[in-house]
Amino acid sequence: MNVLVTGCSRGVGLEICRVLLEQGNTVYGVARSYTDEFKALEAEYAGKLFFKSIDLSDSESIRKSVFKEFVGNKVVLDVYVNNAAMAYDDIVTNLNLDRLKAMYAVNVFTPMMMTKYAIRNMLLHHTRGSIVHISSISAHTGYKGLAMYASSKGALEAFSKDTAREWGGMGIRSNVVVPGFMETAMSSTLTDDQKDRIYKRTSMKAATSVRSVAETVSFLVSEKACSITGQNIYVDNGTI
C-alpha cells in the first residue's frame, strides 16, 4: 500500500512509519523537520520511504505542496494517517484567539483539506482506501489546561465519523485512534509530579505505549479491519 503519514519526524508519527514499513508498505512522510531519526529509517528502507518538508499550518497550500508536488495523481494513495498536531495548553480564561486559530489550522483545517484530496485520489483510482486520525484521550476524560487542544480533537472525531458515513459506499473507511498520555516531545514539558497524576488516572498506572498506538493504526488500515469504520479505538492504558 501507499501511505501518507503526517508528523513523521518524531514520536508517534515516526513509529507509525516504522510499523507500516516493516509490513512492506511505501510511506510518504510529511513534517517540517528532516530529523536524524527519520533519516536513519530512510536509510533502512531505501526506495520505500519518502519525505517532504511542509508546514501544515498553511492549510491553503496543501493541495499544491502535498497533492501536486509530493503525492500526485500518479501515486495510488491507499491510506492517509493524520498524526501531526500541536498542543495549545492554557486555562480557558487565558484563551488567545490567534493561538487558537494557529492550533486549529494544524490540528483541524489542514487534516480536513487533506482528507478532501486523499479521498479524491482514492476515487480517481477506485481505491478502497482508509483514513486514520490520531485524537487524544483528553477529548473524553478532560484535563485542566487542555480544553482548547481537546476541542480540536473532538472536531476531528466528528469529522471522521461523518466522513465514514459519507464515503463508506465507495469502500473508503475512516477511523480514529484515541491515545492516552505518551512519553514524546509533546508531553516533555510536564513535571514528574504532573506525569504521576496522569498515570494514576490509568488502569495500568503507566504511559501509553507509542508502539501500541502505531500497531493499532497499522491494524486499522489493513484488510483485517475491512469492516471497521466510523469508530474511535482507545489505546490509553484504560484511562478514566
List residues near ligand NAP by CB under 6 A. 7-13, 31-33, 55-57, 83-86, 106, 134, 136, 179, 181-182, 184-187
Q: Which residue is nearest to ligand NAP (CB)?
A: 11
| Closest to ligand NAP by CB, 8 or 118 | 8
Helix 11-22 with 36-44: angle, nearest 10 deg: 0
Smallest separation (angstroms) from ligand NAP to the CB of 213: 7
> Shortest approach of ligand NAP to residue 149 CB, angstroms?
7
Closer to ligand NAP by CB, 8 or 221: give it: 8
Cβ closest to ligand NAP, residue 66 vs residue 122: 66
Q: How far is the CB of 125 from ligand NAP (least distance, A)?
A: 26
- Minimum gap (Å) between residue 171 Cβ and ligand NAP: 26
Nearest C-alpha neighbor of 90 from the set 207, 198, 189, 200: 189
Sheet holding 2-6, edge to edge: 49-53, 26-31, 2-6, 79-82, 130-134, 173-179, 232-235
